[in-house]
């Protein structure tokens, strides 16, 4: 006997649609009688699974590929991308040049912590200026109450031979390598006390946290919704949905963002392979 929701769907349909649902209900009713009502499709004999999936699909409501939930998830991804673009993780590498007292530095802005989208090269770096400390930050809640907190801030500037700034970064709530330590290493390179290239990563843990939440929720949920729509239309098998759109869509950004956190926490002891990515190897 068809289940209540199956009977309701059959009674509400007519013509060819009603015949399709009656046939699907008969298939499902026979499987429930022969194999029990609580089993999963994957537990059924392989020769029965295609017919059962087709019968289940007949009773599923039609799902739009892109609906309001998907648009909201796209907005979530766009917000995470905007945060990552405006407050990027920065990979900073410097090496000695043939000119005494000068080094060449390359700064790579990383979207989502690991994907470079902009490189800037600064030749003739003759000095640095770095600082770290705490600043007072005020915030107001929805009820108008104001609270005050101390926030860690770190900054680093690359200077030319005249003491003018070639580049400066300021990071609120930094994680990993202190920019003052990176400045000290670059100064050692300038003074000849260090010969190996300098490599460091500057990041804010708040920015990384926002990117992580937005990316994991956005990518995994959006991919899962699209995968369900494709599966319900019969365009992809259930196994592809589970592996690619459900688990894969979560695992890929999770691994990438996990690597971003690891690199940020390491900060100043990064793999030498990153020097090659900056052209400093």
Residue-wise pLDDT tens digits, 235-254: 788 788 889 999 999 999 89
CB neighbour list of residue 90: distance below 8 Å, 6 or more residues apart: 107, 108, 109, 110, 169, 201, 202, 203
Q: How sure is the predictor about 230, in pLDDT bands with cuts at 50, 70 and 90?
A: confident
- Could you tell me the end-to-end alpha-carbon distance of the chain, in angstroms, rounded to an integer? 71
Give, in order, the Cα–Cα distances in Å from 262 to each of 56, 203, 224: 44, 11, 27
Which of 19-33, 49-63, 118-132, 153-167 comes out lowest in average pLDDT?
49-63
Dihedral pair phi/psi, residue 212, rounded to 5° = -65, -50
- Residue 76 CA to residue 275 CA, distance in Å, equals 33
Q: Helices H, strands E: what count in the chain?
A: 9, 8
Q: Which H or E run contains 74?
A: helix 68-86
Q: What is the pLDDT of residues 11-37, one digit of tens each?
A: 878 888 788 888 888 888 787 887 777
Q: What percent of the chain has pLDDT over 70?
A: 94
pLDDT of 7 over the 80 cut: no
| Inter-residue contact 198 to 182 (CB < 8 Å) | yes
**Where residue 62 falls among pLDDT bands split at 50, 70, 90?**
low
CA distances from 143 to 138, 140, 150, 274 (A): 14, 8, 22, 47
Beginning with the edge strand found earlier in the chain, give each strand of the sheet holding 146-159 in spatial order.
127-140, 146-159, 165-172
- CA–CA–CA angle 166, 172, 178 (5° rounding): 70
What are 20's two structure tokens? Answer: 């399709």
Average pLDDT over residues 183-189: 93
Summarised one tens digit per residue, pLDDT across range 201-227 is 888 998 899 888 888 888 888 888 888
3-state DSSP call for residue 196? coil
């Amino acid at each position: 006997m068809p289940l209540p929701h199956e009977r309701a769907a059959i009674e509400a349909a007519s013509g060819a649609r009603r015949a399709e649902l009656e046939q699907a209900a008969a298939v499902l009713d026979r499987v429930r009688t022969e194999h029990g009502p609580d089993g999963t499709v994957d537990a059924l004999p392989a020769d029965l699974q295609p017919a059962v999936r087709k019968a289940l699909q007949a009773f599923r409501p039609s799902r739009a590929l892109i609906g309001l939930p998907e648009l909201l998830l796209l907005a979530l991804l766009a917000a995470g991308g905007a945060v990552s673009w405006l407050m990027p993780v920065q990979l900073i590498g410097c090496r000695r040049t043939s000119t005494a007292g000068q080094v060449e530095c390359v700064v790579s802005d990383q979207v989502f912590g690991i994907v470079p989208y902009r490189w800037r090269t600064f030749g003739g770096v003759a000095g640095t200026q770095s600082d770290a400390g705490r600043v007072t930050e005020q915030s107001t809640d929805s009820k108008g109450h104001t609270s005050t907190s101390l926030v860690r801030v770190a900054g680093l500037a690359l200077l030319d031979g005249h003491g003018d700034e070639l580049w400066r970064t300021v990071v609120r709530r930094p994680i990993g390598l202190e920019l003052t330590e990176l400045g000290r290493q670059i100064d050692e390179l300038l003074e000849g006390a260090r010969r190996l290239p300098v490599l460091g990563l500057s990041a804010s843990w708040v920015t990384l946290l926002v990117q992580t939440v937005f990316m994991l929720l956005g990518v995994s949920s959006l991919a899962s919704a699209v995968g369900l729509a494709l599966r319900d239309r019969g365009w992809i098998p259930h196994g592809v949905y589970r592996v690619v759109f459900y688990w894969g869509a979560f695992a890929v950004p999770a691994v990438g963002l996990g690597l971003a956190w690891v690199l940020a926490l390491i900060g100043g002891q990064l793999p030498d392979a990153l020097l090659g990515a900056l052209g400093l190897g």
